[in-house]
Amino acid sequence: MHTVFYVSDGTAITAEVFGHAVLSQFPLPFEHFTIPFLEDEDKARAVKAKINDSFHQSGKLPLVFHTIVDTTLRNIITSSDAMCYDFLNTFVAPIEQQLGVKADPRAHRTHSMDNKKHYDSRIDAVNYALDNDDGVTTKEYDEADIILVGVSRCGKTPTCLYLALQFGIRVANYPFIDQDMSRLALPPALKANRHKLFGLTIDANRLQEIRQRRRADSRYSAAEQCRYELSQVERMFRMEAIPFIDTTYHSVEEISVKILERTGIRRRIY
């Protein structure tokens, strides 16, 4: 098995996202090691020794994906017995030429708190999602960017949290209750904010599987109940012209991006 190292003087999240995206195209298993916060020469030499050990033990050159600003530290890592891929610097030179501006590797850093205002608005969005989760209150819907609606356990909460944490967007969520579904009517708090509503739906079998893990052999997790709720809610989405998507075969990332695409709302943070 090939060994892969993700090495950075920051969180190494960018190196991981990049390396993983490239390696996901190869139908091979890999062993992954992440080394964040590479901040001094001792640590860099220890990492180099670990990379070299991996080569000597396996006989296969390890792959190293790195993002390291400091040249001395970077040179220690790239002198390892490994194939090193420096995706930032590979692109910085042509972009410098194109923009006619020199890069300043210390100007900004990703995944840090350099932009405190952005950072606070992101944490506020997480708090908003938690305070307005699961219909616990409808009083703050005026402040919502989006209000997700759907049956219980169709994927609303993880989507709200992802949109808040990654994109800084304020998303409330409201689970339709029996009364809403039998009357086929939106409750008043939702009516007043109907332009913010976005629906989620899900395959009935998948919903039953999820509810079964949550509350086994209950009315809540019965196949018939799942089918009934979904058919009523989808009727309501159509009647009220609420845009909606099926979450069954989509990840939280895909659902979140589809919602942004359909609503035209843009992410606040990168």
Q: Is 63 in the site for a second copy (CB under 8 A)?
A: yes
According to CB under 8 A, which one of 9, 16, 145, 180 is a site residue for a second copy?
Answer: 16
Residue numbers 182-211 binding a second copy by CB under 8 A: none
Place of tokens 């709200």: 160
**Residue 10 near a second copy by CB under 8 A:** yes
What character string, x for contact with a second copy (CB under 8 A) and - otherwise, covers 77-116?
A: ------x-x-xx-xxx-xxx-xx-x-xxx-xxxxxxx---
Q: Between residues 130 and 189, which has the closer beta carbon with respect to a second copy?
A: 130
What does the alpha-carbon distance between residue 182 and residue 152 come to, in Å, rounded to a whole number? 15
Residues that bind a second copy (rule: CB under 8 A) add up to a total of 71
Residue 236 has which token pair?
A: 């309501």
Q: Considering the complex, what minimum distance in angstroms separates the CB of residue 112 from a second copy?
A: 5
157 and 169 in contact (C-beta within 8 Å)? no
Among the listed residues 46, 189, 252, 268, the single contact to a second copy using CB under 8 A: 252
CA distance 29 to 39: 30
C-alpha 256/C-alpha 161 separation (Å) is 10
154 is in an annotated binding site: yes
Q: Collapsing DSSP states into helix, strand and coil, what is residue 24?
A: coil
- Give φ, ψ of 161 to 5 degrees: -65, -40
Q: Which is nearer to a second copy, 34 or 263 (CB)?
A: 34
61 forms part of the interface with a second copy (CB under 8 A): yes
> Hunting for tokens 């892969």 — which residue is that?
4
